[in-house]
Amino acid sequence: MACAARVVAVTGSSNGPSAGVSDMADHKSPLNSSGLSEAEAKEYHSMFMSSTIAYVVVAIIAHFLVWQWRPWF
């Protein structure tokens, strides 16, 4: 009885325990498999790429400075 009451509370109908299953399956979510919307995914990607490029630039400068100080070949 508690399960049926929970289904009624969630789905708003009392057609049985499987009443809300098709409603949930048919619901089109704006989220993709990562859980982010398209705009959020693009924003995350741009920040990720910016920070990766900054990291690589700093690493190249650090390697160049160390090579000037003590060449390893």
Residue 6, CA atoms < 13 Å, CB-side half-sphere? 6
41 vs 49: CA distance, rounded Å: 12
The reported pLDDT for the residue numbered 17 is 57
15 vs 1: CA distance, rounded Å: 13
| Consecutive 10-residue averages of pLDDT for the chain (73 residues) | 50 54 56 88 97 98 97 87
**What single letter denotes the amino acid at residue 32?**
N
Give the end-to-end CA distance of the chain in Å, rounded to a whole number: 78
The reported pLDDT for the residue numbered 48 is 98
The reported pLDDT for the residue numbered 45 is 97
The reported pLDDT for the residue numbered 55 is 98
